Structure 1
Amino acid sequence: MKYALVHEWLTPEATGGSELVVQEILQHINADLYALIDFESTNPESYLFKRPIGTTFLQHFPLARKGVQKYLPLLPVAIEQLDLREYDVILSSSHAVAKGVLASPQQLHICYCHTPMRYAWEMTFDYLNSSIAGKGLPGILTRQLLHRLRQWDAVSANRVDYFIANSRHTAQRIWRCYRREAEVIYPPVNIDRFSVQPHKQDFYLTVSRLVSYKKVSLIVQAFNQLGLPLVVIGSGPELPLIRKMAKSNVRVLGWQPSEVVQKYMAEAKAFVYAACEDFGMALVEAQACGTPVIAYGAGGALETVRDIQQHPDLGTGVFFAQQSTAALKEAVETFEASQPAFNPDKVRANAEKFAPKIFKERYLAYLDHCYQEFEARNLG
């Protein structure tokens, strides 16, 4: 069989969990790769260097490399221009429009969905309130655009034969947006990159893109009030704000290479996270270091972290129920009181449930199941 793998964009700046899923799939399936834009095949440091990758007309648009999202109204049109008629199986890795490729009834399309398009659905009002495009007359046009985008997103879900979700939380959102069932297969986390450091240092850590919905400013506010040492690693539009608001007990390091991030993760007494994530790969990476997690108790965190208050012998973290400084401060105080109960080896053992070999086994088995069922339905 001939496989095509479709992802949204491939650039040196895009190195998140969805890109790691693409990399893992390509290790086990010989697939031709497609994307809206590609600037990785010309990157000597990329595993995709010199690999043939099919792209769309957006590849040649000005400033596309810096973020093709600026051409949001054109993304659905662009993804539909990929001609995949020669393939037997289409695999999409989708967090925006990749699932919208056109396919014939004879082609099997399996989508690994990292999230339904966030800014078109539950983050619509965050997007409108935080952008100048959401105000005044431009705001009316933006609302119309998002309305049309939701319509296209729901319709294009019907082009997928089988959905895979990266968490139960995402599966629920797929059902809410598309009314489609999804198989849950957790993404691969390269836990072998991290080693357990049993002797922790006296500081807390957060690693995140510095954008509003990640709530890093909330974490800084809470630690400003607590007076406890906090290290912030990450870059993004909120970096100047975070640096301005941080008191002397908060060190803002900005972007750091992976080896520095791993060192801080291994040495931190706890990893702090205040966003609601669909999966939350950083939470698993911290646990792979034997580092407990203090996290907002929603989304994928509920599936990757065990609250010490509910699991006294196997706890790997502490949850807080509201995205507020008061709730986070209370969780930190709970962690301080419970710290002796955390066992680094047990924390690491919880992370091992998300190892790449488990993803490989489950993903390939589900692909085989889908193909057998698809063939039987077509023959029947």
Structure 2
Amino acid sequence: MKTITAGLITLMLAAAPLCGLAEDVAVSGSDSATEPAADETALDTELRSEIERAIDAGLRYLRAAQADDGSWSQSVGVTALVLRAYLQSPRGSTEEDGPFIARSIAYLLDHVQDDGSISETNHNRNYNTAVAITALKATGNAEYTPVIANAQGFLKGLQLDDEDGYARSHKYYGGIGYGGDERPDLSNMYMALEALKASDVDPDDPVWEKALVFVSRSQNNSETNDVKVSVDDGGFAYMPNYSPHGGGESYGGMTSAGLLSLLFAGVDKNDPRVQAAYDWIRANYTVDANPNAKEGQGLFYYYNAFAKAMAAYGEPTVTDTAGNTHDWRRDLAEKLLSLQREDGSWINSLSSRWWEGDPNLVTAWSVIALNHVYGT
């Protein structure tokens, strides 16, 4: 029987702890609605330079905000995200670039626990461990392979299945939550799958097939969901038939996370689940808000997940259901550039829910999003 520590997160960052989950209002559909020619979808030199400057400014802000112990916000999760932002930036920072990188890695390693988790707290252990795996893997340093392997085992051990008393017919089967035996959710699921994918877990490992059971049940798509859905639009909710924004509504952050989860788990791009999620994005395309979320909530979580989802899907443009073609990289880059503060940081000025009042977290997310925009 797997040992899973209980401990329902009291903060109930109900949509993703640091991983901030949530989004903002309804669709605006006003983003660059002109149809570009095929050779116009590449970022032009001027915009690429602006993105580079924005990333550099964000990283300078973060370097100045680092604590003496090597952390950001005294959090393994935030520290791992900042480290990833540095390592995957256009400058390609490495451990040799300065003590600020080495100290952040040391902080993560100092919080490796006997059970394989990497966390400073018993809460959010899945999230913290997942983003720490991704950051340590991004260093390219084989010295961390044993730590990563043990952390992979910890994440797999959190997955709810028959050993935990969850029959396959249970709506939570295959899911992963915050790190105890409480309810799983799609945000924690996506973060775990991203870490397992980044750290090269065997595609035939049972973790993927089990995960797809829960991921598919979190999609509001009656064609492919064996759980009756209250909404049937192809998007994703936070968990089966539940959204922190009301009812079982689909919304932007989770639909991007759901699309990513399907792709991480090896689902073909032409699979009806992938196409239904992509069609929801087409129908709700915007970078002005987190579609279908309460105003301002989880906005930067959405930007981060949207950038990764679009990069993984692999299309340079999105043609919305009204027939307008959008260069998603340009749209997102220009939006993030417009929201960057003078000191180089980003913060959600509309809602601080799910840690989006922490400029360290939000700046790390924004840089990671721009890294995906720049690198695609």
What interval of TM-score do these two structures reach, taking the shorter chain for normalisation?
Answer: under 0.3
Identify which of structures 1 and 2 has the higher relative contact order when contacts are C-alpha pairs closer than 8 Å and 6+ apart.
Answer: 2
* Structure with greater strand share of residues: 1
- What TM-score does the superposition give when structure 1 sets the normalisation length? 0.27
Larger radius of gyration: 1
- What TM-score does the superposition give when structure 2 sets the normalisation length? 0.27
